[in-house]
Amino acid sequence: MSPLAQILLAGIGTYLIRVSFIAFSGRLQSIPPRVELALSMIPPAVLASIAASGLLLQGDELRGLDEWHIAGLATALVAWRTKNVALCLSVGMAIVWAIGP
Amino acid sequence: MGAGARRIFPLTIIAGPVGLIYGVTAVENGLSEFETIFASFVIMAAAAQIALVQLIGDESSWAVVVGTTLIINLRFALYSATIASTFAEFPRRWRFALTHVLVDQTAMIALREFETERDPFYRHWFFLGSVLFFVTPWVIGTTIGALLGGEISNGWQLGFAVPATFIALVVPSIKNRPMLVAALVGGFVAVAASFLPNGLNIIAGAFCGIAAGVIAAPTPEPGS
């Protein structure tokens, strides 16, 4: 299958995920509590998987200890204490630039 | 529209660089400039697109490419569920058009704003404002990345912007102890399963994290 067809298929599938509950709104009065619970776990689980593998892995090996670890920790701390996205990203990037090669 | 633009602004600054990283990654994995930019319009999800182009570059089968992309994007089902009652009050065309640009950043900002702002007219303009100020730098970043390709210097450390963005998103998404369990287990399994090919470690992390979070949660009362 050509890359273009794969992109299109992924795009259609992604739209269907996005429209899933929106399309049924009004008809579906309430979401079963178990489904709602599982849904609520998706963002922390998926986002943390992507963040951890992006931060800690290089290819399929663990990264050696470097400025990314320190900056990643600082980004998480600022995000937790302030909930200010711009501030925590600026702090993270500033640390990487300051102590990077 | 102005309010939406102002609220999204901190994330606007990051949308450009993340688009740039995606664009460079895509071209380095053998996609054409057109395919790279086309994906940013039809999929509209940075993490999934970065995984997608890497998998295409590894010559994975189309089922793995499309399946992984969709699992990474499965979190949009939650945003769809939480924002459905708001979108239901929008005119039909607005509803189905704005659905396409429901991403982590626009969903989180909108849900926070809509706790206090109830007017559907205000709400759809707010959402459109945040979307325009997020999607525009994303597409511009993608285009520049696709055109420059390998000429972007690694010395800029732009690569760090990707995990940094996801750290900035995951931390506020954790609202209780079971969600913390989901994030910790998900992150740990994704790293521990790094031997799995084709980015399957992220899928393993996602499923183990979701399962751990559900197990850690108190059993919901039937009928509540």
Q: Quick check: ipTM above 0.90?
A: no
3-state secondary structure of A58: strand
Residue B154: pLDDT band (50, 70, 90) is low
| Burial group, residue B63, by CB count within 10 angstroms (0-12, 13-18, 19+) | exposed
B167-181 tens-digit pLDDT: 988 898 899 999 999
Are B162 and B50 in contact by the 8 Å Cβ rule? The answer is yes
Q: At what angle do helices B177-192 and A33-56 cross, to 10 degrees?
A: 40
Average pLDDT (B7-13) is 75
- DSSP code of residue B121: H
Give the Cα separation of B52 and B38 in Å (integer): 13
Question: Of the candidates B47, B34, B62, B44, which has an alpha carbon nearest to the alpha carbon of residue B103?
Answer: B44
A13-68 tens-digit pLDDT: 999 999 998 988 656 667 788 888 998 898 899 889 989 988 999 878 888 888 89
Are B70 and A13 in contact by the 8 Å Cβ rule? The answer is yes
Contacts B185 to A, Cβ<8 Å:
45
Are A51 and B166 within 8 A, CB to CB? yes
> Which candidate from B85, B161, B186 shows the least CB-CB separation from A45?
B186
Average pLDDT (B86-113) is 88
- DSSP code of residue B152: S
Residue pairs between chains A and B whose CB atoms are closer than 8 Å:
273
Query: What does the pLDDT read at residue B224?
Result: 45
| Burial group, residue B159, by CB count within 10 angstroms (0-12, 13-18, 19+) | middle
Higher pLDDT, B86 or B183: B183
Residue B117: pLDDT band (50, 70, 90) is confident
Query: What does the pLDDT read at residue B156?
Result: 66
Instruction: Give the up-direction half-sphere exposure of residue A6: CA atoms within 13 A in the CB hemisphere.
Output: 26
- Give the start-to-end residue ranges of the domains of chain B: 2-155, 174-218
Are B190 and A50 within 8 A, CB to CB? yes
Q: Is the pLDDT of residue A72 over 50?
A: yes
Give the Cα separation of B66 and B89 in Å (integer): 32
Give the Cα separation of B8 and A93 in Å (integer): 19
Greatest mean pLDDT range, A9-13, B25-29, B203-207? A9-13
Calculate the average pLDDT of chain B: 86
Residues 6+ apart with CB under 8 A from B203: B68, B71
Q: Is the pLDDT of residue B207 over 60?
A: yes
Are A48 and B84 within 8 A, CB to CB? no
Query: What does the pLDDT read at residue A14?
Result: 97
Residue B50: pLDDT band (50, 70, 90) is confident
Q: How far is A65 from chain B (nearest CA, A)?
A: 14
Nearest C-alpha in A relative to B219: A34
Greatest mean pLDDT range, A25-29, B108-112, B190-194? B190-194
> Which candidate from A40, A57, A68 shows the least CB-CB separation from B191?
A57
Contacts B222 to A, Cβ<8 Å:
33
φ and ψ of A61, to 5 deg: -110, 155
3-state secondary structure of B2: helix
Residue A58 contacts B, CB cutoff 8 Å? no
Residue B219 contacts A, CB cutoff 8 Å? no
- Whole-Å CA distances, B69 to B45, B109, B222: 9, 24, 34
